[in-house]
């Protein structure tokens, strides 16, 4: 099986780029952030707050991801929650949830089962360092905080949502700190990952660049 790991900070465009790259390779795309979001969603729905209760709750959580037409759907205890995990409440809680050792352990086996059965492009924060240390290709995708905040600002404005650039930039910086400084599996570039900074690249240019890197690596 061939595996491509794409890691990077929030808002670097990982999922959009990984999805498109997977499509062009005929691989499945796994957005691992969705798994952490599924747990955060369950905790909100069941009003579970402290770490001890969260660890207990994991026994009642069954997460499956399915790939209809290679598109990822997240199934939590039999219900399709693919769209629900994008609500702001989940985004607010998920960084905290992803810090927990038991949560990361719980999701490790789900991720490794997928890899053993499919050619994948997997994106997240610890894919090249923890989940897929032997990935065929590792990419660390980044862009400046200002650039990521601007993209998010324009995305929200285009969807008719009123927002403030400075607030978004503050949120991007806070998420970076949370992701890079947590004790377990922090966001960091694997030593053998190729760094791609998309600050001055369009989406299409970023996708082309990554496809080029992968083809060169796979055929070298």
Going through the chain in order, the beta strands assigned E by DSSP cover 3-7, 28-31, 63-68, 71-76, 79-80, 120-124, 137-142, 194-197
Decide if residue 139 touches ligand DC (CB under 6 A).
no
What is the spatial distance between Cα 43 and Cα 58, in angstroms, rounded to a whole number?
10
Contact between 29 and 215 (Cβ < 8 Å): no
Shortest Cβ distance from residue 10 to ligand DC (Å)?
Answer: 5
Q: 21, 22, 81, 94: which one contacts ligand DC (CB under 6 A)?
A: 94
Nearer Cβ to ligand DC (5/214): 5
Laid out side by side, the sheet with 194-197 consists of: 28-31, 120-124, 3-7, 137-142, 194-197
What is the spatial distance between Cα 217 and Cα 162, in angstroms, rounded to a whole number?
43
Q: Could you give the string, one character per residue 99-138, with x where binding to ligand DC holds by CB under 6 A and - elsewhere? A: -------------------------xxxx-----------
Q: 24, 55, 95, 173: which one contacts ligand DC (CB under 6 A)?
A: 95
Shortest Cβ distance from residue 29 to ligand DC (Å)?
Answer: 13
Q: 4, 5, 6, 10: which one contacts ligand DC (CB under 6 A)?
A: 10
Q: 17, 19, 27, 36: which one contacts ligand DC (CB under 6 A)?
A: 36
Shortest Cβ distance from residue 106 to ligand DC (Å)?
Answer: 12
Decide if residue 179 touches ligand DC (CB under 6 A).
yes
Alpha carbon of 218 to those of 128, 130, 157, 215: distances in Å?
A: 16, 21, 39, 5
9, two tokens: 């900070």
Shortest Cβ distance from residue 200 to ligand DC (Å)?
Answer: 22
The contact set with ligand DC (CB under 6 A) reads 10, 32-33, 36-37, 94-95, 98, 124-127, 179
């Amino acid at each position: 099986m061939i595996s491509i790991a794409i890691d990077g900070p929030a808002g670097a465009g990982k999922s959009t780029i990984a999805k498109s790259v997977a499509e062009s390779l005929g691989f499945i795309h796994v957005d691992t952030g969705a798994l952490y979001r599924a747990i955060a969603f369950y905790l909100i729905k069941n009003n579970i707050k402290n770490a001890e209760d969260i660890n207990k709750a994991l026994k009642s959580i069954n997460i499956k991801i399915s790939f209809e037409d290679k598109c990822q759907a997240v199934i939590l205890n039999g219900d399709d929650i693919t769209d629900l995990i994008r609500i702001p409440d989940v985004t607010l809680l998920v960084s905290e949830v992803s810090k927990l050792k038991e949560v990361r352990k719980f999701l490790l086996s789900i991720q490794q089962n997928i890899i053993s059965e499919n050619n994948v492009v997997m994106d997240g924060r610890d894919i090249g360092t923890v989940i897929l240390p032997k990935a065929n290709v590792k990419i660390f995708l980044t862009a400046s905080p200002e650039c990521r905040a601007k993209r998010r600002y324009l995305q929200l404005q285009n969807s008719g949502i009123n927002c403030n650039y400075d607030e978004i930039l503050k949120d991007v910086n806070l998420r970076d700190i949370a992701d890079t400084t947590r004790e377990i599996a922090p966001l960091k570039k694997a030593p053998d990952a190729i760094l791609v900074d998309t600050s001055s690249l369009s989406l299409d240019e970023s996708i082309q660049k990554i496809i080029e890197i992968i083809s060169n690596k796979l055929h070298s």
